[in-house]
Amino acid sequence: MKVTLSFEESSSSDVSIMVDALRASTTITLALNNFKRIIPCFTPEEALDLKEKIGGTLAGERNGKQIEGFDIGNSPCALKDLKNSEDTLILTTSNGTRILENMASRVLVGSMVNAEAVGLKSIQLASTHIDVVMAGVKGKFAIEDFLAAGEILYCISENLDGCKLSEYAQTAILATRDYKLVKEAFLNSRTAKRLIELDYIDDVELSVMRNITDNVAIYHDNELTLYI
């Protein structure tokens, strides 16, 4: 099976794994502790309109900050333990939800926190090609996505006999074998520094933790649900 790494757009029509480590992928993954479905929206206006129609909890950010009038920001720490009566989360983010819009393959959501789980699920689901897709930040490479992708790709390579890794994918794996260095680079990334300035250091520290959940979201019919 072919296994590749891409930026912003997937090269696979089979299975893709979207990675936006800080913070959309981590938020989606951990929000499934408390919500049955997550509906990604591509603009705040679309999200507000949808809440008027169906209810639910409204979460989102732009430039890292919670959007005015929303119930909560794009915070995995806040959402993983959130207790309310709603089963639907409506989410809009600067990067991760935007990437989902153009995916033509079956899409899973990956991060550091579920790297092993999403890697194994992608092997179960795919038949010819797994592509790990980094969301980046406003069209620019983000080291935290590269490192999270490397963790996922490592799991795939260790559990998929005869996989054909692209050289880009091999590079990501090699970059992630020393977790101490990974954590240091993650915490000192441009995105992390921005979030720390906004008092989201807890989100950053949570997002760099490896394999703390088996939750894996799958994107289907414009909804994210738990892949069983």
Using the predicted structure, report yes or no on whether residue 221 has a pLDDT greater than 90. Answer: yes
Q: Residues 20-56: pLDDT tens digits? A: 999 999 999 999 999 999 999 989 999 999 999 999 9
Name 18's bridge partners.
109, 133
- Using a pLDDT cut of 90, give the percent of the chain over it: 91
Q: In what order do the strands lie in the sheet with 2-7?
A: 65-66, 57-62, 88-92, 37-40, 223-226, 217-220, 106-110, 15-19, 129-134, 2-7, 164-165
Using the predicted structure, report yes or no on whether residue 3 has a pLDDT greater than 80. Answer: yes
The tokens describing 148, both together, are 């999270």
Using the predicted structure, report yes or no on whether residue 125 has a pLDDT greater than 80. Answer: yes
Using the predicted structure, report yes or no on whether residue 96 has a pLDDT greater than 80. Answer: no
Question: What pLDDT, on a 0 to 100 scale, did the predictor assign at position 58?
Answer: 96
Q: What are the distances in angstroms from CA 121 to CA 39, 55, 203, 227?
A: 21, 31, 25, 8
Structural domains in the chain plus CATH codes: 2-218 (3.90.1560.10)
| Contact yes or no for 29/17 (Cβ under 8 A) | no
Q: How confident is the model at residue 83 (pLDDT cuts 50, 70, 90)?
A: confident
d(CA 99, CA 101): 5
Question: What pLDDT, on a 0 to 100 scale, did the predictor assign at position 84?
Answer: 83
Q: How confident is the model at residue 94 (pLDDT cuts 50, 70, 90)?
A: confident
3-class SS of residue 100: helix
Question: What pLDDT, on a 0 to 100 scale, did the predictor assign at position 50?
Answer: 96
Q: Residues 197-216: pLDDT tens digits? A: 999 999 999 999 999 999 99
Residue 194: cis peptide before it, omega within 30 degrees of 0? no
| Contact yes or no for 85/34 (Cβ under 8 A) | no
Q: Residues 134-186: pLDDT tens digits? A: 999 989 999 999 999 999 999 999 999 999 999 999 999 999 999 999 999 99
Mean pLDDT of the chain: 95
